[in-house]
Amino acid sequence: MSQIVNELKKCPAYNERVKIVTLTSRKGLCVHERIKNYEVGALNEKCEDLQDTTKCPYKESQLT
């Protein structure tokens, strides 16, 4: 929990805009059809790979 709070505090709009935070793993949030059913470790690794190469269509920056 302290890690989450520390990460939120790094966000410039933390005090003004953050009202609620969903706490779950990538496994619980993943909607990517090809990887969402992977085991946790494999899902985390593949998710990071897709984000690093900007090939994840669900990455926030690609949705806006």
pTM over 0.85? The answer is no
Q: What is the dihedral of CA 11, 14, 15, 17, to 10 degrees?
A: 140
> Which tens digits make up the pLDDT trace of 4-62?
777 777 877 666 666 666 677 878 878 888 888 889 899 889 988 988 887 888 877 54
Mean pLDDT value across the chain: 78
How confident is the model at residue 16, as a pLDDT? 67
Judge whether 38 and 46 are in contact, CB under 8 Å: yes
Segment 46-64, tens digit of pLDDT: 988 988 887 888 877 544 4
